[in-house]
Structures are given as structure tokens and as C-alpha cells.
């Protein structure tokens, strides 16, 4: 099943990345995966210090250049995640986004973070573009009309794929619904997700990847329980979607405690889930990895360092925990007939943002230097169990 049609882009402007197990961007089929871009020189030295708008412009300039090298334009972007050192800077970055995107806004998930490559970086922007000839369709249902004031759409569809923005608990005017209540907000967000999927011509069974971001790690159970018990209560485990839960510093507005982002694949056939008994949620309606039977995209749940009984593996050892996480990714991919060579994107979430270098050193054991997935390291506030140092979320294309 594995496909070798991938093209890796690491231009001279990103020579810092050539020394690591990653690419600045990876193309697989019609999709281009762009690693988290920051305002830096070719050696990853931060530029535009203290100026978030200038840093955002620098990040988007990098994205534009990588798209050009891959044969695309900014109009091809369908999905963005922006990670912000200070959540109060989100509107400033959206102002830059209005200059970058004039119409057909992409899906956009904006989140607070603890940090990335270096403390001076105020924003990191990762993106996915669809370089195929299909028509791009961007939708925002009436229930989420407030988003039309921002340079984002609730969902963006092109070809076989649809990406949603991070869906938050707000009414049509943008007023926060059930401030601070994780379970109640999860219910609202899943209702908004249904609205968004319907507007984009999709249904819940088409989702191959879900992420929920929570302001408080203790809200993860509410988010996941609401999904499993109310949204997909009768779904067979072998047809579940991947589902990743991460705690970040904040969402767009005070009182929003969750943001939910989904990827849809319209390929033929049912969704197929794989998992390993070495994770404690093995028998729950959450896949370790999920794909459509006839599709190429595999969503891989964030992998963590614990066994099937919730025992922490390699407590306090960043490299050993990363090695375990990559082993879990390898295992669920193998059940789909895929390998680590098929991984096209990684977002690694770290309790200590400085740990990214140790984790990438482990990545060298898999991909070597100068080649590998698009990779975005992000500092987060919490993971599901105390003792986890990282959670490694990935996408693969076969």
C-alpha cells in the first residue's frame, strides 16, 4: 500500500531544517504539508524581535515561498494552525491574515502555546495546501456566522479533503456559550461540527482525524466522554476515528475552554481503524490510526509514553519517551500496511518546549538528517497523564 510519490522541500532559506530529521514542506499527491513557520533567518535565528505582526508576516512569507517552490500559491491553502505565545496577539495575526488571504479563507485553528523553537518566537504557523485542480469550496454555517469577521472559514474543502477550523463554543454572534464548562462546551462544539460538516457535504463517518484542544488538561475527559458517549455511542471500535487531546494555554476568547478540529476524507469505503493493546484506550471508540478504506490519508492519534495499564514509560526521560511514542506510531501504521516513511507531518507537543531538540534527535534514528516529515514542535500546558513529557501527533499518506 505504501506510496513513494513524496517530494521533500527544504530550500536554502531553511538550511537549519536540513540538519534535522524533517523537511520544510512535504508533498504527497495533491497535498502539501508545511511545517510550522516562524520569523527566522536560514539558521533559525529569530528576527523581528518583539513584533508579532512582523513575525506573522515573516511566517507567511516563508509559507508563500515554500508554496511557490512546490508549484502552488497561497490560494491553495486549505488548513492553518497558528500557535501564539500570547493569546492576546491572535487578533494582530488575524490582521496579517486579512492581508494574505483576500477570499476563500482557509480553515484556521488558533491556539495559545508555551513556546516553540526559541523563546523569542511569538507565533508559529503551519499549513496544509491542496495543489490539485479541484475547485476550492469554503463554508461557514449560520450558527457560526461570527467567524466571517475573521480571515477563516468554518471548513475548507478541495478534492477529496475537508478541513475544519478549531470549532469553539460560541453563538452565531460570537458570544461564548457555557463559559468554563468543558462538557457543555463540548456538546455545543460537536453540534457546530455537525453544522459545518453538513455545509461542506460531509458526515461524521467521513472524519479520519480529530483533535480537541483544552485550556485545562482536566477537561480532556469531558471532551472525549461527550464524543464517545453522545456523538458516536454505537460506533464499532474498528470504525473509530483517530482522536488527539492536548491542553494549551488558551483559545480565542476568555471563557472558551475547548477547540475541536477535524479532517474529512471523501474517499470511497468505510473508515478503518487500527490500534495497539499497548495503549490504555485500546478498547474505546478512539483509533490509534484511521483512514478511509480507499483513501490515502491516515490520521494518527497523539501517541504517549504509557502502556495498556496506564503505567508511565521512561518517566523523566525525554528521549526514551519519544522513542516509545514513535514505536507506537510505527505499530499502528503497520496495521494499515504503512511505515514511518509514509509519515508526512508531525506536530510534537511538549510539556517543556525545550525538549524539541531531544525528540528530533530520536527522529534522526528513523529519517536521518535533511529528510522526513514536515515537523512543528509546540510547548503545551498539559497532557492526559501526569508524567507524559510529550505527545506526538502525526499524519501519513500511503
Determine the Cα–Cα distance for residues 146 and 140; give it in Å rounded to an integer.
Answer: 9
Q: Is the pLDDT of residue 262 over 70?
A: yes
The residue whose grid cell reads 499524519 is: 395
Helices (H), strands (E): how many in the chain?
6, 18
H or E element, residue 33: strand 31-37
Please tell me the pTM assigned to this model: 0.98
Give the sheet arrangement for strand 271-274, strand by strand.
271-274, 289-292, 297-303, 390-397, 343-350, 374-379
Which of helix, strand or coil describes residue 247? strand
**What pLDDT was estimated at residue 3?**
61
Q: Is the pLDDT of residue 2 over 70?
A: no
**What pLDDT was estimated at residue 317?**
98
Mean pLDDT to the nearest integer, 64-69: 98
Which of helix, strand or coil describes residue 311? coil
Mean pLDDT to the nearest integer, 206-228: 97
- Residue 390 buriedness (CB in 10 A; 0-12 / 13-18 / 19+): buried
Determine the Cα–Cα distance for residues 383 and 45; give it in Å rounded to an integer.
Answer: 29
- At 16-37, the pLDDT tens digits run 999 999 999 999 999 999 999 9
Residues 6 or more apart in contact with residue 115 via CB below 8 angstroms: 85, 121, 353, 379
**What pLDDT was estimated at residue 387?**
97
pLDDT range class, residue 175, cuts 50, 70, 90: very high
- At 107-143, the pLDDT tens digits run 999 999 999 999 999 999 999 999 999 999 999 999 9
**What pLDDT was estimated at residue 1?**
47
What are the boundaries of each domain within the chain? Answer: 7-397
Share of the chain above pLDDT 70, in %: 99
Determine the Cα–Cα distance for residues 273 and 307; give it in Å rounded to an integer.
Answer: 19
pLDDT averaged over every residue in the chain: 97
- At 287-319, the pLDDT tens digits run 999 999 999 999 999 999 999 999 999 999 999
- At 313-340, the pLDDT tens digits run 999 999 999 999 999 999 999 999 999 9
**What pLDDT was estimated at residue 143?**
98
Q: Is the pLDDT of residue 208 over 80?
A: yes
- At 274-287, the pLDDT tens digits run 999 999 988 899 99
Amino acid at each position: 500500500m505504501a506510496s513513494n510519490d513524496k517530494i521533500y522541500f527544504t530550500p536554502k532559506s531553511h538550511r537549519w531544517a536540513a540538519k534535522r530529521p524533517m523537511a520544510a514542506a512535504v508533498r504527497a499527491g495533491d497535498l502539501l504539508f508545511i511545517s510550522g513557520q516562524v520569523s527566522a533567518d536560514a539558521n533559525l535565528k529569530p528576527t523581528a524581535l518583539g513584533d508579532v505582526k512582523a513575525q506573522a508576516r515573516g511566517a507567511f512569507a516563508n509559507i508563500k515561498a515554500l508554496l511557490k517552490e512546490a508549484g502552488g500559491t497561497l490560494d491553495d491553502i486549505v488548513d492553518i494552525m497558528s500557535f501564539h505565545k500570547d493569546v492576546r496577539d491572535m487578533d494582530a495575526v488575524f490582521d496579517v491574515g486579512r492581508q494574505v488571504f483576500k477570499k476563500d479563507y482557509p480553515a484556521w485553528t488558533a491556539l495559545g502555546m508555551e513556546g516553540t523553537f526559541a523563546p523569542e518566537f511569538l507565533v508559529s504557523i503551519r499549513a496544509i495546501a491542496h495543489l490539485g485542480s479541484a475547485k476550492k469550496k469554503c463554508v461557514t454555517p449560520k450558527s457560526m456566522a461570527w467567524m466571517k469577521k475573521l480571515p477563516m472559514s468554518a471548513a475548507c474543502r478541495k478534492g477529496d479533503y475537508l478541513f475544519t477550523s478549531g470549532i469553539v463554543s460560541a453563538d452565531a454572534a460570537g458570544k461564548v456559550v457555557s463559559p468554563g464548562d468543558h462538557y457543555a462546551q463540548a456538546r455545543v462544539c460537536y453540534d457546530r461540527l455537525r453544522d459545518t460538516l453538513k455545509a461542506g457535504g460531509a458526515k461524521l463517518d467521513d472524519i479520519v482525524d480529530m483533535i480537541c484542544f483544552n485550556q485545562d488538561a482536566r477537561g480532556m475527559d469531558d471532551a472525549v466522554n461527550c464524543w464517545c458517549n453522545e456523538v458516536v455511542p454505537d460506533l464499532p471500535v474498528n470504525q473509530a476515528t483517530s482522536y488527539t487531546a492536548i491542553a494549551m494555554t488558551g483559545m480565542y476568547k476568555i471563557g472558551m475552554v475547548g477547540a475541536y478540529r477535524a479532517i474529512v476524507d471523501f474517499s470511497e469505503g468505510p473508515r478503518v481503524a487500527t490500534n495497539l493493546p499497548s495503549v490504555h484506550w485500546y478498547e474505546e471508540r478512539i483509533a490509534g490510526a484511521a483512514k478511509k478504506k480507499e483513501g490515502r490519508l491516515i490520521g494518527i492519534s497523539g501517541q504517549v509514553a504509557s502502556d495498556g495499564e496506564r503505567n508511565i514509560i521512561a518517566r523523566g526521560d525525554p528521549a526514551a519517551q519519544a522513542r516509545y511514542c514513535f514505536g507506537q506510531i510505527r505499530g499502528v501504521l503497520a496495521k494499515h500496511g504503512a511505515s514511518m516513511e509514509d509519515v508526512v507531518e508531525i506536530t510534537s507537543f511538549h510539556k517543556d518546549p525545550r525538549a524539541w531538540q531531544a525528540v528530533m534527535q530520536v527522529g534522526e534514528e528513523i529519517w536521518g538528517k535533511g529528510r522526513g516529515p514536515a515537523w512543528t514542535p509546540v510547548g503545551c500546558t498539559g497532557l492526559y497523564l501526569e508524567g507524559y513529557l510529550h505527545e506526538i501527533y502525526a499524519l501519513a499518506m500511503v
